[in-house]
Amino acid sequence: MNTFFKALNDPTRREILELLNDKDLTAGEIADKFEMSKPSISHHLDLLKQAKLVVSIREGQFMKYSINATVFDGVVMWLMQFKKN
Amino acid sequence: MNTFFKALNDPTRREILELLNDKDLTAGEIADKFEMSKPSISHHLDLLKQAKLVVSIREGQFMKYSINATVFDGVVMWLMQFKKN
DNA sequence: ATAATATTTAGATATTTGTCTAAATATGTA
DNA sequence: TACATATTTAGACAAATATCTAAATATTAT
């Protein structure tokens, strides 16, 4: 739960998730969407990976990132407990 | 979305939410559940209030805190977009 | 083997965050 | 009014975080 909310607690990382929800992207393609250095984006991707919100596989020189949808279940559950009815 | 994830990104604050989900509590009653100074708890309660996750009303000398369940809807929605099917 | 491209790692730095103690404010009671 | 209790505000400080540049690593192509 900790790594999850930590990962989500940043607008850049949430935006990365939204991009990846549309389609898989390489680290470089992701970086191109932001006005931020590649190392910074790499760091954000690392935090998302630690939270298991994304996974990456190497494709030649590129690293392809994709969403790991299954992880959201647990958190949605946790949040639902607070909903009325 | 920002204040929400910021508020959730702390184990103490998440635990406060779980306590309040059970029943309304005063600031002092909440503080008693933690090994932490009252001012620190007060600060956590403030962040939860900023995120509108809780509301508080004065009852005499006491401040009674309760969960604001409606706010969870938006975030659950946001998270659901990432779920397959 | 060398060079080019893609990405990550390392180290530095400013900002934000969580915690504390001391002081201030608000309410209730003798 | 004066005192006791409940809570918040203010200010300080250490730890965590987001960002950068420079350097290292991995892969591909000449």
Q: What is the DSSP string of B1-60?
A: -HHHHHHHSSHHHHHHHHHHHH--EEHHHHHHTSSS-HHHHHHHHHHHHHTTSEEEEEET
- pLDDT of residue B14 exceeding 90, the answer is yes
The whole-number pLDDT of residue A49 equals: 98
Query: What's the rounded Cα separation, in Å, for the pair A66 and A23?
Result: 7
The residue ranking higher by pLDDT, A83 or B72, is: B72
- Whether the full predicted model's pTM is greater than 0.75, yes or no, is yes
Nearest Cβ partner for A80 among B14, B76, B84: B76
Is the CB of residue A33 less than 8 Å from the CB of residue A19?
A: yes
Element (H, E) at A34: none
Residue B62: beta bridge partners? B59
Mean pLDDT of chain B: 96
- When pLDDT is cut at 50, 70 and 90, the band that residue B85 belongs to is low
Give residue-wise pLDDT tens across range B23-58. 999 999 999 999 999 999 999 999 999 999 999 999
Residue pair B54/B17 in contact (Cβ under 8 Å)? The answer is yes
Nucleic strand C within 7 A of Cβ B52? no
Which pLDDT score is estimated for B83? 79
Mean pLDDT rounded to a whole number for chain A: 96
A56 touches strand C (CB under 7 A): yes
Chain B residue with minimum CA distance to A5? B9
pLDDT exceeds 60 at position A85:
no
